[in-house]
Structure formats: C-alpha cells, structure tokens
Structure 1
C-alpha cells in the first residue's frame, strides 16, 4: 500500500475513533421526561389516595389527576449521544445538570428536600380546601428547623410554637425574621414559646396548650449571600390542627406541585355532586394556605403526560401558561388558574359543558 494512502487511512481511522470516543464523553446535562399521573379521586397502590374520616364524604367521579416529571438522578452522567437524542426527542427535555441539582446537591439531599416540600404541600392543600369550605382550621407559627452551631441550637427545637418575639405577637412565619432582624448582631432577643412536647400533648387532647416559657438568645451575624443582619439560626413555618382526619396516601412522589390537585380532590370528596361532571381533568400547581396557586417546573412534560393518559383539560398556573401554550399537546385545553377559586369556577364550567367561558392559556 502506498505510504500516502496508508497515512490517509490511519488518519481517517483515528478521526473515527476520536469521534466515537467524543460521543460517549460525559456532558453536564440532565433529562426531564413525562412522569406518572395519579387520579386524586381514585386509588393508587390498592388504596384510596385521599382518605377522610370524622366528616361526611360524598361519591365522586371523573378525574382530577396530579402530574409528575421524571428526572435523571443527581449522580447520573449523561453522555453526548444521550444528550443529542434527548434534544431531538419531542417528549423529553435536556437541561443543565445544575438546574435540577444546584450547588452540587446530592441525590439524598434532593430526595429529602422534595419529601419535605411534598409534605408541606399536602398540609397547605388541606388548609386551602377547608378554608374554601368555611371549615375552621387552627394554625400557629412553629420552629421548622434549627441550624447547627447557631444560637438557637439546644435552646429552641423543631416543633416549638412561637407565640411572640420580644413581647410582640407572631401571626405568620415572616414576622419572626422581621422581629429578629430589627436587632443588631450580638443583641439579645426573647422568644415566647410553647415547647413542642407540650404542644403535641395538648393537640392530642384537642386542647390549646397553656404552658409557655421565655427563651433568651444572643443574636449572631449572618454569613450567607444576603446583607449582613442579626440571626438566631432557625427557620419558621406553620403547623395546623384539623377538625377531622385527612390522609393523603401517595408514595414515591416529591416536590410541592401536586398541592392544587390535592386541594381540589379534598374539596370534591367533602361536597355533594361531581366537580368534573365525569370529565378527565388534570393539572398542577403549588398552593398556599390561602389558596393561591404558584408556578412549577417541567410544565411541558406534565401536559404531555396528562394528554397521554387521556386528559381533556389541564389546570395550569397562570405563571406557567405561556410556556405550556408554546407546545400544547393536541386535544388538550389549557385552563389558566391563579387561585383555588379560579380552579373551582373552571371545573363548574367544564362540568356544565361551558367550555367557551374557560380562561384559556395563550402563548406569550
């Protein structure tokens, strides 16, 4: 074989080898794809998703499906070939790895965070549904977490009820930070609390806790990315006591995005008649205690998953409308909602067949 031909052949083979190797090099991306959808009015794993005792419930029909997104794990390293395939696939979405797992978050940390958000979304869904029905719910501000090696460690504990800070009554979690940061680092601040064990004992007897104590802490200086301020090393949250039992039985799901659909499912079971009129409605959205619906991630994946299961209508957070409308699956109507009241109004129209009156999502 002539030397020139041999050189060209060797160069070509080397180039092919390098290209093949490059295709399998890891790239800093992750994949999102449509996940399972679950009817909050139905069963999952052989038992009802919503289980209510201590209050009258009513038969339901149709679907109020919560939707999910599948994502690759934190430690999965996608290669270039997989990334290109994902970019070309219509039902999948390739995103930077740090979008799903910021700051080097591990799989365990992400799972824990998602579980906590899911638990909180269930609580808020119950509160929002009962408030919409005019059923009183007792609420109070609590110590949610305590930072290690902070002034609060050993002095305040998760579950402690915060009645006041420096004698000023606390009505919502934001009040705590406002009152603490009114101090300068190094100054003392007094928390009036009900210890968690006393609160739990009172709640068990369906009574209001009467045992309180003052805890004096010396504030420290913050060291996060925000402005320097006085801190004690806690995060505040909200806890509730419900007048009857509402259990949400759904494992292997995380994050806050099912809140709206849980709230609607609870409302439907506690009221006569059918919210959906037998229609297949799916949706997504966070919900707070006041019934406000917030945006979520992966909206395009959720609409695809819902339509694949047969959904006709999709309740869409207003802030997600433009993204969802940019690529709406055929046969699916996107309904814009900002509150649980909006969602209930839309369901009334859907049940009655008044689809022309629905507030639909439009492209941005």
Structure 2
C-alpha cells in the first residue's frame, strides 16, 4: 500500500509540474510580438464592381503577416523556426495600446482601398470625381487628446472633412484671437460616440501649414476618407475586407479592380500573389515581412509573386530557400505590374 501511494504521489507531482510548465509556456506574457506567415486570400471576394468583366480561371491573392503577442512557447519556437520573427512589443506598438494599434492598421487599410480604386480608375482611363467624407486619425503621439480611429467632424462648430479644411479653421482662430490664449473646440467621433475637446492653438500662427497643425494636435498620421464617384455609375468599384489591416494589399486590390474594369483576364489563368502599397498615381511602395508573405503564397499554390522593387531580392531569396517554383516579379508601378502580367500571359 505504501509503494502504491508513493507511485500515485509521483504521478501527481509530475502532472502538477507539467501543468505549471504549460501555464508558463502558453499563458505568461512576454515583452515580444511575433510575426509569422499569414493568409493568402482571394481578392475577388473583396472587390465589388457594378458591372464586372467576366472572371477567368486565375486569381489574385493578397498576402498577409500574422502578428500575435508572443507567449514563451512562441519565443521557444523562434529558436528553430525561420517562420517566427520576434520584435519588442514597445517597438511595434510605439506607445499605443493593442486596441489602438489595431485601429491604426484598420485605418491604413481603408486609405489603401481608396487609393487602390483611384489608381485602377486612372489606369483604366475611367473619369471620376472625389467627394471628401471625413478626416481620420491614424496614429497619435503621447499626450494627444485624439486617438487612432477618431473621425474629426467639426472645428469651432464648422464641419471639416479634410486636413486643409481643419487648417483653415485653425488659421482663422489664430487671426481672430491675436495676443491672447487661443483655443478651438474640436468635435470628433470615437467608438460611435460624439466627443469634444478644447484644443490649445496659441502655438499656431495664421501662416501655419498642415505639418505644424499635426504637431500641435499630437497627430503622427492621419488619412482623408474619400468617396470616388465615376462619371459612369456602371464603372463603380468598391472594396470590403474583414479582419485584414494595413496598407500592403493596395497593389493587389488595384490589379483586381483594374481587371474588373477592363476586358480580358489579366491573370492569364494563373494564381498570382503579391504585396505592395499603392498611391493614387499608381506608385508601388515597399512593405515589411515579405518573406512571410512569400511563404503564405507558396503554401496556397501561387505561381507568380509581385513584389515592390526594393523587396524583390528578399522575396526571391525566400522562394529559393523554400524550394518553390515561384516566379517573383519586381514592380515599381501599377502600370509595370499590368504590363508584366500581359507579357507573361502572352508567353503562355
């Protein structure tokens, strides 16, 4: 009986130790954020055209990086897995809370969608007009009364939709209240609720520019929400996404939008993944985490990967390390990407 009791006691001790170890590995927080390969998602389900061109057999895939708050198990995995990169949480969040960071990347995604549609309209020669809708706070500095995700609606009781309109109101206050403590009432929407803050404007002159204004407000980045209205309603394109943030899907959104607006299949029947920010003039910008995005593309069976020119060497190196038959094409503009895909299709 004594030996049997001791045996059960040893089992209980080992079980308890294992439970403590599991809690330590899985639930104790670390000061790190982990980046890993994310999704390679079909953008056909996200881009909506009023009268789309018939779809071909190929598809465009946006690629993502998965970010998580690393536990000690993830930290341990980073020792042997090249698919796990660790960064200090403070360096990534830059003083923001996790919720504020998520709002920031979501705001970046909204701006990226608008820029992608505008770039596609220009590439497809679609006449359009721009209707400003709201000024969105993307990133703030410590001490700012504003937060990422805030929608600025009024300044001094007057509606504002752009940074220039906001600047005009601040300049007016500077001109009207010379030689005294100057403030202005700022009205904004936060989490669906209207809020007001009295903002000091004494440091701003009547000649202040947008950069000086953003400094006075403690805003590191903002974005102007715009509605793009094509002259022909049949050419209208919109983009909707769920749980994907950041601006790096801009190139792939623009390509899918362009394919919807023009005749023929731009994919040439291939699975084409890629990444890159986009500007309304079609300029493609570099991004981070391209190696993880290549991995996501390879896992999904992509045949071609479009990468910003400055990221292309890293993308090629990663594809080779995976032993993948993935053709990496560097691009600088949307026009270049379209030309490369047409050239590739003609060779096929």
Q: TM-score, normalised by structure 1?
A: 0.65
More helix by share: 2
Q: 1:221 aligns with which of 176, 181, 203?
A: 203
Cα gap change, 1:274 to 1:236, in 2 (>3 Å)? closer
In structure 2, what is the equivalent of residue 263 of structure 1? 254
Deviations 1:248-280 (A, max 9, x none): 233111111111101100111111111111011
Q: Which runs of 4+ in 1 moved over 6 A?
A: 163-166
Q: Does 1:346 align with 2:348?
A: no
In structure 1, what is the equivalent of residue 302 of structure 2? 311
In structure 2, what is the equivalent of residue 60 of structure 1? 56
Return the offset for 1:82.
Answer: 3.1
What is the alpha-carbon distance in structure 2 between the residues aligned to residue 156 and residue 308 of structure 1? 52
Aligned residues: 279
Cα gap change, 1:49 to 1:164, in 2 (>3 Å)? closer
What is the alpha-carbon distance in structure 2 between the residues aligned to residue 65 and residue 336 of structure 1? 16
What is the alpha-carbon distance in structure 1 between the residues aligned to residue 167 and residue 110 of structure 2? 27
Query: Residues 4-153 of structure 1 correspond to what in structure 2 (within 5 A)?
Result: 27-41=30-44, 48-53=45-50, 55=51, 57-72=53-68, 76=69, 78-79=71-72, 81-103=73-95, 105-139=96-130, 144-145=135-136, 148=145, 153=155
In structure 2, what is the equivalent of residue 159 of structure 1? 161
Query: Residues 198-277 of structure 1 correspond to what in structure 2 (within 5 A)?
Result: 219-221=201-203, 229=212, 233=217, 237=224, 239-243=226-230, 244=233, 245-277=236-268
In structure 1, what is the equivalent of residue 289 of structure 2? 298
Q: TM-score, normalised by structure 2?
A: 0.68
In structure 2, what is the equivalent of residue 209 of structure 1? none
User: Does the CA contact (< 8 Å) of 2:162 and 2:224 recur in 1?
Assistant: no
Gaps of 5+ in 1: 1-19, 42-47, 167-175, 189-216, 223-227, 355-364
Q: Indicate the SS of the match to 1:327.
A: helix
Q: Indicate the SS of the match to 2:78.
A: helix
User: Does the CA contact (< 8 Å) of 2:111 and 2:223 recur in 1?
Assistant: no
User: Does the CA contact (< 8 Å) of 1:283 and 1:315 recur in 2?
Assistant: yes
User: Does the CA contact (< 8 Å) of 1:141 and 1:236 recur in 2?
Assistant: no
